[in-house]
Chains A and B, each alone.
Chain A
Amino acid sequence: MTDSLLVNTSPHLHKKESVKRIMWLVTLSLVPCGLAGIFIFGLGALWIIVLAILAAVITEFVLQAATRRRITVFDGSAVLTGLLLAYNLPADVPFWLPVVGAIVSIAIGKQVFGGLGQNIFNPALVGRVFLMASWPKYMTTFVRPLSYDAVTSATPLAALTEGKALEGISYLDLFLGNRPGCIGEVCILALLIGAAFLLLSKYISWHIPLSYIFTVGLLSYVFGAKTLFAGDWFSHILSGGLILGAFFMATDYVTSPLTYKGQFVFGIGCGIITVVIRLWGGYPEGVSYAILIMNAATPIIDRYTRPRIYGS
């Protein structure tokens, strides 16, 4: 009886959500594609994942201790950053590369701004482009799938960039991940399982991924071949890091716009930049650069898509 007479201020409805829970659930949703990556590229991939996560967690701990802040290494965000960084690396990079990348991700991408929730850019991508600019040789040497040796091979995107048709790689291969590439990006099936989980449980909204992937498909269909309207748009969607980036990195709460309108602008912007870099840029893949550039634009997008205050 006493409970029904309890008087307190609103809110009265509580949901058992916390940053910690969301971080660990996103990490969980990324497990299938990691397992697929390890199966496709061998145990070396597992070591890279473990090293990146360990380095990220330790860096976070050291920096938080040094600046006398609350230690929050178990909220899962550092683990998630390390995991995403590892998924964006080829499988046979030297062991120190994921470590350096994770230190840069956490230190420069996150703690410099004051930690979780304050960062402007996606930390894992900051680490990745740092590595890309510093050691391009390691970052663009890929292992052939299911051969478990360091035979290097060109990615499907490299062929697509030159406007050629893919040889020897079917859509099914692309979908299951039987192609050279980064650890976490290859198995589209596993990525979609994780993404479906996040979408159905409403941890991410469909606005950014859909507008991003649709823009890439449309633009690569129009401009992707020697003549207009003849591009292999389906391969463009399935190759590179697009699915991983669109569902798991572009949707990061902190670094993407707040309103649905802003999220459409964000997704379309990412799509345009990705296709421009893929088709005409010097690098074969543009997903990480596109997301980072749109991260930088997020405060401006938020500013101009702010909902009208009622009555003004």
Chain B
Amino acid sequence: MEITRIISIAISMVFINNFILSKFLGLCPFLGVSRRTQAALSMGIAVIFVMVFSSLLTSLVYVFVLVPLGIVYLRTIFFILIIAAFVQLIEMVIRKKSPALYKALGIYLPLITTNCAVLGVTILNINEFFVPGIPVYAGILYSIIQAFFGGIGFCVALLLMSGIRERLEFTDTPISMKGIPVAFIVASIMSLAFMGFSGFKF
């Protein structure tokens, strides 16, 4: 449990191994929900939230159910069901408790179930932190930190992209490049720029 490791995970998840720009997880919402800044911000916050709690739940289930019962090979099925159930629960709770929040985030929640960044981060957690040599409680903690900063990175990329796409609507982009293709080019240049952080050592 070292502070430098946490800072390294943070910088790495936000810039170097950004879920969207470097690992290519969650590209569908990245292209789908990045047309408006407000929507992008809502989606980003919802993703951070779901990622953190899914990581907590899946790592607990992994440690206390899958490993003791010897059914680690069923982890994909378990994880996607946990995520789907959790998202469904959240949707029902905020619909009852806070209609305003539901209005802001509601329509993005079902999309998050099939966001591969969420399932991706839970599987990466298991692969990276639940290995011999790392105590179980540290593994759970690292998972949550990785999920949180992964979500921040997702949110940052989504927000920057939405600002750029709002501006691109008013430009005289060649017709065949308009929309999705030019969004890919922008993402490519952002990915090149984020490469500046590679080799980060604190």
Contacts and interface: CB of A to CB of B under 8 A. Distances in A.
Interface of A: 67, 108-109, 111-115, 118, 120-121, 126, 129-130, 133, 273, 276-277, 280-283, 286, 288-290, 292-293, 295-300, 302-303
Contacts of A276: 197
A303 B37 contact: yes
Contacts of A114: 171-174
Interface stretch (B50-58, B95-103, B181-189): B181-189
B197 A281 contact: yes
A281 B192 CA distance: 15
A130 B192 contact: yes
Nearest to A120: B164
Nearest to A121: B189
Nearest to A119: B171
Q: Would you list the 8 A-B pairs with minimal beta carbon distance, nearest first?
A: A282-B199, A289-B196, A299-B163, A292-B193, A118-B171, A300-B163, A114-B172, A299-B167
Interface SS of chain B = helix
A273 B11 CA distance: 12
Given A108-B185, A113-B168, A120-B167, A300 B173 contact: no
Contact of A296 (B160, B185, B198): B160
Nearest to A291: B193
B189 A300 contact: no
B196 A293 contact: yes
Nearest to B166: A299
Interface in B134-192: 159-160, 163-164, 166-168, 171-174, 177, 182, 185-186, 188-190, 192
Nearest to B177: A112
Interface of B: 37, 159-160, 163-164, 166-168, 171-174, 177, 182, 185-186, 188-190, 192-202
Given A67-B174, A114-B172, A296-B190, A303 B163 contact: yes
Contacts of B192: 126, 129-130, 133, 292
Given A120-B168, A296-B164, A129 B193 contact: yes
B41 to A, nearest CB: 10
A274 B104 CA distance: 36
Contact of A297 (B163, B166, B198): B163
B188 to A, nearest CB: 8
Contacts of B182: 112-113
Nearest to B8: A280
Contacts of A281: 196-200
Contact of B189 (A108, A273, A286, A297): A108
9 contacts: A118-B172, A129-B192, A129-B193, A281-B196, A281-B198, A282-B200, A286-B196, A293-B190, A303-B37
Q: Which residue of B37, B185, B199, B202 has the most chain A CB atoms within 10 A of its CB atom?
A: B185
Contacts of B185: 108, 112-113
A286 B164 CA distance: 22
Contacts of B186: 120, 296
A4 B43 CA distance: 61
Given A129-B193, A290-B196, A296-B186, 20 more contacts: A108-B189, A109-B189, A112-B182, A113-B168, A114-B174, A118-B172, A120-B186, A121-B193, A130-B192, A133-B195, A280-B201, A281-B199, A286-B196, A288-B196, A289-B193, A293-B193, A293-B196, A296-B193, A303-B37, A303-B166
A129 B166 CA distance: 25
A209 B37 CA distance: 28
Nearest to B40: A300
A277 B163 contact: no
B173 A113 contact: yes
A165 B177 CA distance: 50
B196 A283 contact: yes
Nearest to B187: A296
Contacts of B163: 297-300, 302-303
A290 B199 CA distance: 16
B39 to A, nearest CB: 14
B131 to A, nearest CB: 25
Nearest to B181: A112
A295 B174 CA distance: 21
Nearest to A273: B196
Contacts of B166: 299, 303
A299 B164 contact: yes
A198 B200 CA distance: 36
A61 to B, nearest CB: 16
B144 to A, nearest CB: 24
A299 B40 CA distance: 14
Contacts of A303: 37, 163, 166
Contacts of B172: 114-115, 118
